[in-house]
Structure 1
Amino acid sequence: MSKVIIFGNSGSGKSTLAKQLAEQSHLSHLDLDTIAWQAVNPPQRTSLSESNRSIQQFISRHDSWVIEGCYTDLLELATPFADEVIFLNLPVNDCISNAKNRPWEPHKYSNKQAQDANLAMLIDWIAQYDVRSDTFSKLAHEKLFEQFVGVKTMFTANQ
């Protein structure tokens, strides 16, 4: 039984690593992007209570899982149930490069063109990681990592 949380900046490789772990270790996979946002334009965050319900339902339905995302407020809801956390603490420039080269994410975008249309905004978002102080920031991720009691791993480069 394994319960893993992966977090870091956008473009750090969270989804890629989570998919690999899920496949190799037969873990159920929850990408927090799928529950963090309402399907409205412009996008709006789902309420914390509604996201918490989704996280708790996922955890209760699966004995072994990997949850990944950049939302410290949501990650904190899952960490009491986790055995391990993995912090992908890559340099911002590596995250930007990864974002530019990421394959189409059909669970987030209707097609690759729609994904690429969002790329300039995403690169700007990634670039602010070190200076933000919100739930998506490096500061918040460092605090989550330091406070976690259990197996902790930090990667500072793509493997």
Structure 2
Amino acid sequence: MRVLIMGNSGSGKSWRARELAAQHQLIHLDLDTIYWTPGAVAVARPAYAVLADLYGFVRSHTDWVVEGCYGDLIEKALPFCTQLVFINPGKDACMANNAQRPWEPHKYASKEEQDSMLPYLMKWVGEYDVRDDTCSYAFHRRVYDAFQGAKREDAPLSGDAA
């Protein structure tokens, strides 16, 4: 089983990936961990390094779950997956989940540092439907609709968080 999960920030991707990983003994990759420079807030790594890490991961593990909002990275990993999942609960649910997001120590040195980024995150999440970047609804929709393999679009289960 090799599952790709994409959606807006706060849609429930990480929760769903952790659940799948535990249930099926899958290795889990949160794309944030390869996209951002460790120890730096909102500093992207060079694209070649991110792609090298992504390809290294999907090629070196038999079974996995990869999740993130980076539609371009999801698109690059499509040839390796057995299922694509698009979690799309709507902007309001994503914003509510982000407002309640617990501290993510793999992304931020402290809860205070994470909270200081919340206004930027909320603005970005709120623009999901109108942005034209690779993390936008339009990009996710295009990737999902074009994929010819096994796929499903759904909203998170009750209690899902980002």
Which amino acid is the alignment partner of residue 19 of structure 1? R
Count of residue correspondences: 158
TM-score scaled to structure 1, two decimals? 0.93
Q: Offset at 1:109?
A: 1.2
In 1, the alpha carbon distance for the partners of 2:73 and 2:155 equals 23
Q: Secondary structure at the match of 2:153?
A: strand
**Cα distance change on mapping 1:13 and 1:135 into 2, 3 Å:** same
Deviations 1:87-108 (A, max 9, x none): 0111101000000112211111
Q: Which blocks of at least 5 consecutive residues in structure 1 are unaligned?
A: none
TM-score calculated relative to the size of structure 2: 0.91
Return closer, same or farther for 1:28/1:43 CA change in 2, 3 Å cut-off. Answer: same
Shift of 1:38: 2.2
3-state SS of the aligned residue for 2:144?
Answer: helix
CA deviations on 1:8-65 (whole Å, 9 max, x unpaired) are 0011011111011011110001110011122475633222221111011111221000
* 2:139 match: 140
1:37 maps to a residue whose letter is: W
Give yes or no for contact 2:3–2:66 (8 Å, CA) kept in 1: yes
Deviation readout 1:100-149 (Å, 9 max, x if unpaired): 11221111112222211211111101000000011010000001101112
- CA root-mean-square deviation: 1.5
Task: Give the partner amino acid of 1:134.
Answer: D
The question of 1:100 aligning with 2:85 is answered no
Structure-1 separation of matches of 2:92 and 2:116: 20
SS at match of 2:67: strand
- Please say if residues 21 and 27 of structure 1, whose CA atoms lie closer than 8 Å, have aligned partners that are also in contact: yes
Contact 1:86 1:152 in 2 (8 A): yes
Secondary structure class of the residue paired with 2:86: strand
Task: Write the distance in 1 (CA, Å) between the matches of 2:91 and 2:157.
Answer: 12
CA contact (8 A) 2:30 2:68 kept: yes
Q: Where does residue 5 of structure 2 map in the other structure?
A: 6
Unaligned runs of 5+ in 2: none
Using the TM superposition, name which of 149-158 and 64-73 deviates more. Answer: 149-158
CA distance in 2, matches of 1:118, 1:64: 34
Alpha carbons of 1:35 and 1:157: their partners in 2 closer, same or farther (altered >3 Å)?
closer
Paired letter, 1:22:
A
Aligned mates of 1:145, 1:65 — CA distance in 2: 19
Secondary structure of the residue aligned to 2:65 is strand
Percent sequence identity over aligned pairs: 42
Provide the C-alpha distance between the structure 2 equivalents of 1:81 and 1:100, rounded to a whole number of angstroms: 34
